[in-house]
């Protein structure tokens, strides 16, 4: 792969990751949020493939394929199925206005670039230079977990956080050992399945999926 093509592919995939994360922040449709996750999962698989092929790793297509299947197909499908089962495709309420959410997201993206600086040092490696995108995804995932009340949107936030970590892993160390990648992907898939099942149970038992309404346990 020529250096120019590599840089272009890197820019495209990381750009898509960041764009889908920011778009995630406003909008109340869960179907749209899950659709964005599909794009984000595809971009992540593309990023892993690009970095892996450039580094000459034999397992890269395998890991990228696995990520694509799990993150862009299986997980969104599971979430969509949960959402359809309970018949909730829009969030009921919002804690913040969309404008405030967006400003917060922009601030977090800036923060991601600020905190990544000392970690990056003065590297010139184009992959490592893109690490702030991964950090942005992590922070935006947290942001979504914090400000959103709906269980499904919280799940989307969790997956964004996880995508961010996978992106950082791929950009900094060229990926982890295969067994760890497999184990980690399987773990996250199981967490999504469990949370999907809990969402369905929550709707059946409580009649809503609003996390902020769960206030029985406290001191």
What distance lies between CA 84 and its chain's CA centroid? Answer: 21
Selected binder of another protein within 43, 67, 151, 156 (CB under 8 A):
151
Q: Is the Cβ of residue 37 or residue 103 nearer to another protein in the bound state?
A: 37
85 binds another protein (CB under 8 A): no
Give the 3-state DSSP-derived string for 188-202, with helices as H, strands as E and coil as C.
HHHHHHHHHHHHHHH
Nearest-angstrom CA–CA distance, 96 and 73: 30
The CB density around residue 184, as the number of other CB atoms within 10 Å, is 15
Selected binder of another protein within 2, 99, 121, 122 (CB under 8 A):
121
- Per DSSP, the residues of 66-117 read HHIIIIIIIHHHHHHHHHHHHT--B-S--SS-HHHHHHHHHHHHHHHHHHHH
Q: Is the Cβ of residue 99 or residue 143 nearer to another protein in the bound state?
A: 143
Instruction: With beta carbons less than 8 A apart as the criterion, state whether 170 and 131 touch.
Output: no
Mark the segment that binds another protein (CB under 8 A) among 15-23, 75-83, 101-109, 113-121: 113-121
Subset of residues 176 to 215 that bind another protein, contact rule: CB under 8 A: 176-177, 179-180, 183-184, 186-188, 190-191, 194-195, 198, 201-202, 205-206, 211, 214
Residues lying near another protein in the complex (CB under 8 A) are found at: 118-119, 121, 138, 142, 145, 151, 154, 158, 161-162, 165, 168-169, 172-174, 176-177, 179-180, 183-184, 186-188, 190-191, 194-195, 198, 201-202, 205-206, 211, 214, 216-217, 219
């Amino acid at each position: 792969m020529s250096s120019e093509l590599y840089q272009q592919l890197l820019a495209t995939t990381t750009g898509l990751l960041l764009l889908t994360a920011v778009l995630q922040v406003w909008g109340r449709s869960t179907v749209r949020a899950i659709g964005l996750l599909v794009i984000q999962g595809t971009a992540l698989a593309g990023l892993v493939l690009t970095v892996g092929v450039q580094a000459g790793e034999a397992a890269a297509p395998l890991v990228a394929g696995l990520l694509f299947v799990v993150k862009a197909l299986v997980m969104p499908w599971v979430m969509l199925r949960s959402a359809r089962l309970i018949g909730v495709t829009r969030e009921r309420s919002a804690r913040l206005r969309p404008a405030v959410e967006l400003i917060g997201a922009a601030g977090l993206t800036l923060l991601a670039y600020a905190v990544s600086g000392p970690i990056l040092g003065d590297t010139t490696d184009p992959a490592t230079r893109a690490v702030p995108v991964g950090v942005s995804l992590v922070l935006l995932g947290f942001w979504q977990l914090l400000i959103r009340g709906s269980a499904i949107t919280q799940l989307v936030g969790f997956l964004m956080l996880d995508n961010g970590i996978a992106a950082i892993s791929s950009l900094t160390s060229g990926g982890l050992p295969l067994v760890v990648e497999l184990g980690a992907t399987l773990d996250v898939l199981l967490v999504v399945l469990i949370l999907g099942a809990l969402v369905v149970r929550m709707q059946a038992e409580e009649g809503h999926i609003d996390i902020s309404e769960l206030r029985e346990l406290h001191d």
